Chain A
Amino acid sequence: MSVANAAHSVVEPSAGTRRFAGLLVILYAIITMIPLVWIVLTSFKSPDDAISYPPKILFKPSLEGYCNLFTTRSRQTPEFIQTLGPPQGLCDSIARSRNMVVAGPSNYVPRFVNSLIIAFGSTVLAVALGTLSAYGFSRFRVPLKDDLLFFILSTRMMPPIAVAIPIYLMYRTVGLSDTRLGMILLYTSVNVSLAVWLLKGFIDEVPREYEEAAMIDGYTRFQAFVKVVLPQATTGIAATAIFCLIFAWNEYAFAVLLTSGNAQTAPPFIPIIIGEGGQDWPAVAAGTTFFLVPIVVFTVLLRKHLLRGITFGAVRK
């Protein structure tokens, strides 16, 4: 590496260096992936395989984890099960082979739906508010602009638990406790700071001249914003939206402290999936896998914007 190869620029690493670096990174990536892969594998194991020792890498795939995730079962005597008609569907037959009958749907689906509603609701609100504010900060002379922007950023530094008590009291007073609307408003307020900072960066990059040209053509300022700036900033808005979505999707502290049932999201629920005789690991793993899929998709979609999003746009790549 020290001697510059004539064919390459001096800063270009040699082929050997590259291969060595690649090998180390791939090794790290594989080690990183093992826990994730293990959870996905566990979700396809039967409860017996999941807790066998030594851990089984080869196993007979089973959908029992997913069945247990989406249904609740109760143990019955073999005699009682004999009296029932033929099993209805796969989950029922799996349950009956363990002397159980499907008693009904589990709480996972409502929790998952809560996660969806709260995450999307707060994202739409945060991005809408954030876009307006970001445009305001980007284009107009706002008094105390820097102070306001810093104030918006600083709200994100607070530990969630520090404000959880008064929010709990406040929500109890106005009837928002354990409601989806309450959680949507709360996550919006947490996300809006990120949205403003990120979107300000993206909108700053749209040349002002575009709007000025539009206004010369007779558009009002607002029309120019809607018809010229918004389309130009679409990618940025989409990236911001996904960051907000991921935050709201992953949030746990507020969810566990402020919701108990009605508005509970999936993150506080997944750990408390208990099967008969202890933690039902395949069901927990299934719930986790299900929950992780959207995030994995978004990560791949977002990889170009990741750096900006996680650093409040403070660092650009």
Chain B
Amino acid sequence: MNDLSAPSQITYRAVPVRPAVARRIRGLSDQALAWLFITPTIVLLLAINIFPLMWTIYLSFTNFRANRANAPTIWLGTDWYQSILTDPDIWAAMQVTAHFVIWTVLIETVLGFGLALLIDKKFRGHGMWTTIILLPMMLSPAVVGNFWTFLYQPQIGLFNYVVAFFTGRDASSFQMLGDVTLSPWAIVIVDAWMWTPYVMLICLAGLRSIPDYIYEAAEVDRASNWRQFWSITLPMALPFIMLAVLFRGIENFKMFDMVNLLTGGGPGSTTEVASITLKRAAFESWRTGYSSAFAIILFVTVFGLANIYVKALNRVKNR
């Protein structure tokens, strides 16, 4: 793009009056215009993002309950934080979340990278098939969760039928969403179905960014395919893979919609990820102060983890 526009640059640079004219036109009004352009966005974000966040922080130190807004608000200090960090139920929810994040990201990365390698071979019709593969990630997670509950129905669902067909089990003998051991996997399957294409797309961009001459040089050196993969493809695509892992990790850490529709956290609390716990505390038991504190803990966690990860990502990029 920049190379293409180079000739026009030269044309305009050659006009001798330009600096003087430009200065006259810019002047003070430019700075004013810049603020005029940027301020509305900043104001909106302050009003609907930052202000609520500050309010959450304030509420997390109080005993406020949204369903009893007129009751006197008492300042509690860090009580909620202490009780949350020592609550075994919260740790259980965090563990469920961690399992969910690790498994989905792992499966999606392996599958997505594999698919990207295949699509990169540029077989005939790869554009069309790629678009088809990309469809699930464009859908609403809530709607996806809802129609998978239909596919998971033990008596009538397609998923159970297919599994029963291939394994010879009775289709109504297992309930993907009602079974303690199966339900976490039910969510992992849907998430992998939906988001593998996302990882695939980013990995594909990574593979396409590797210049051909590196492979040509490797070919001249008679490096084996396997060797080329380990010493060129994987390291060169690694920053992209890590970017995909980062995005998926953050998203799945706060995953709410799909889990809420598929299992609602059940059976028991086997699929109760952090957002579900948070929603229950905030909008079912109306423990506003408590849930605010939990929200802040989650936010800090995801921010902290993301920052550590971005540091690692930069180290890989600069290598």
Q: A residues within 8 Å of B by Cβ?
A: 1-2, 4, 9-11, 13, 17-19, 21-22, 24-26, 28-29, 32-36, 38-39, 42, 50-55, 129-130, 132-133, 135-137, 139-142, 148, 151-152, 154-155, 157-170, 185-186, 188-189, 192-193, 196, 205, 207, 209-210, 212-213, 215-216, 220-222, 246, 249-253, 256-257, 267-268, 270-271, 279, 281, 284-285, 288, 291-292, 295-296, 298-300, 303, 306-307, 310-311, 314-317
Contacts and interface: CB of A to CB of B under 8 A. Distances in A.
A158 B250 CA distance: 9
B126 interface: yes
B59 interface: yes
Given A140-B33, A165-B56, A11 B212 contact: yes
A192 B34 contact: no
Contacts of B53: 158, 162-163, 166
A161 B138 contact: no
Interface string B120-137: 011111110111111111
Contacts of A155: 45, 49-50
Contacts of B130: 25, 303
Contacts of B147: 35, 39, 284-285, 288
A306 B212 contact: no
Interface string B138-157: 11111101111111000111
A210 to B, nearest CB: 8
The 4 A-B pairs of least Cβ separation, nearest first, read: A22-B123, A136-B37, A250-B140, A252-B142
Most buried by B among A25, A151, A295: A25
A188 B146 CA distance: 26
B93 interface: no
Interface in B87-128: 115, 117-119, 121-127
A50 B156 contact: yes
Residue from A157, A188, A246, A284 whose CB has the most chain B CB atoms within 10 Å: A157
Interface residues of B, number: 117
A52 B33 CA distance: 65
Contacts of A189: 44-45, 47-49
B224 interface: yes
Contacts, number: 316
The main secondary structure of chain A at its interface with chain B is helix
Given A55-B161, A132-B41, A155-B50, A162 B299 contact: yes
27 contacts: A21-B119, A21-B123, A24-B118, A32-B132, A34-B158, A51-B156, A139-B34, A140-B37, A141-B31, A155-B45, A157-B302, A159-B254, A159-B295, A161-B256, A212-B18, A221-B25, A250-B142, A252-B256, A252-B260, A257-B283, A271-B149, A284-B146, A291-B143, A295-B139, A307-B202, A307-B205, A311-B243
B49 A158 contact: yes
A15 to B, nearest CB: 9
A148 B38 contact: yes
B42 A54 contact: no
B201 A207 contact: no
B225 A1 contact: yes
A29 B197 CA distance: 10
Contacts of A28: 115, 133
B169 interface: no
Interface in B226-250: 240, 243, 247, 250
Contacts of A207: 5, 8-9
Nearest to B54: A166
B56 A163 contact: yes
Contacts of B205: 307, 315-317
A96 B312 CA distance: 65
Contacts of B37: 132-133, 135-136, 140
B295 A267 contact: no
A16 to B, nearest CB: 10
Given A53-B171, A155-B49, A137 B55 contact: no
B29 A159 contact: no
Interface stretch (B74-82, B173-181, B274-282): B274-282
A110 to B, nearest CB: 18
B41 A192 contact: yes
Contacts of A163: 49, 52-53, 56, 295
Contacts of B247: 310-311
Contact of B142 (A21, A165, A267): A267
Nearest to A51: B156
B118 to A, nearest CB: 4
Contacts of A53: 155-156, 161, 171
A28 B112 CA distance: 11
Contact of A10 (B52, B219, B250): B219
A166 B145 CA distance: 27
Nearest to B27: A221
Given A11-B215, A170-B55, A164 B140 contact: no
A189 B42 CA distance: 10
A28 B298 CA distance: 35
Contacts of A133: 37-38, 40-42
A185 B156 CA distance: 42
Contacts of A148: 38, 42
